[in-house]
């Protein structure tokens, strides 16, 4: 499965396809630990255990 985190492509594989796995792969968990939040492409906040679909776009800010 391919998703994007902060406009960078990230490959995930089942069953490790949650927001948390995407952030780990992208090396961005520390930003969340520091208080950053994760949003989907429509601006909705996403929980770390949320499941992702092919083509999902996430933004950490």
Partner 1 sequence: MKRYIAWLLLVLFLAAFGRNAAAEQKVVSILHVNDFHGFAEPYRPFGSEDFLGGIAALAFEVDRIRAQGPTLLVSAGDMIQGNNWANLFFGESVVELMNEMRFDAMALGNHEFDFGLDVLRKRISEAQFPVLGANVEGLDLIRPYVVKEIQGVRIAFIGLVTEDVPVTTHPRNVPGLSFLPVVSSVEKNLELLRGKADIVIVLSHIGHAADRDLAAKVTGLTAIIGGHSHTRVLQPVVINNTIVLQAWEHGKALGRLDLYVEDLKVVRAEGRLIDIRPLPETPDTAVTRLVKKYSERVDARLDEPVGEALVDLDGENVRSRETNLGNFITDIIRKTAMTDAAIIGGGSIRTSIKKGKILMKHVYAVSPFNNYVVGVRLTGRQIREALEHGLSAIEDGAGRFPQVSGMSFAYSRTAAVGARIRDLTIAGRPAEADREYTVATDDFLAAGGDGYKAFGEAVRSSKDFTNVGGTLKGEKLVYSNSGKWERDVIIDYIREVKQVSPVVEGRIREVKD
Q: Could you list the residues that contact partner 1 (CB under 8 A)?
A: 11-16, 19-21, 24-27, 29, 32-37, 40, 42, 44-53, 55-56
**Least distance (Å) between residue 8 CB and partner 1:** 13
Residue 33 is inside which H or E element, if any? helix 29-33
Residue closer to partner 1 by CB (options 7, 14) is: 14
Residue closer to partner 1 by CB (options 7, 11) is: 11
**Least distance (Å) between residue 7 CB and partner 1:** 17
Q: How far is CA 52 from CA 3, 20, 28, 39, in A?
A: 8, 10, 16, 12
Question: In whole angstroms, what is the distance from residue 45 CA to residue 42 CA?
Answer: 9
């Amino acid at each position: 499965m391919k998703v994007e985190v902060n406009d960078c492509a990230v490959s995930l594989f089942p069953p490790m396809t949650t927001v948390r796995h995407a952030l780990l792969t992208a090396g961005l968990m520390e930003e969340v630990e520091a208080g950053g939040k994760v949003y989907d492409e429509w601006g909705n906040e996403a929980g770390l255990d949320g499941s992702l679909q092919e083509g999902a776009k996430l933004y950490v800010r």
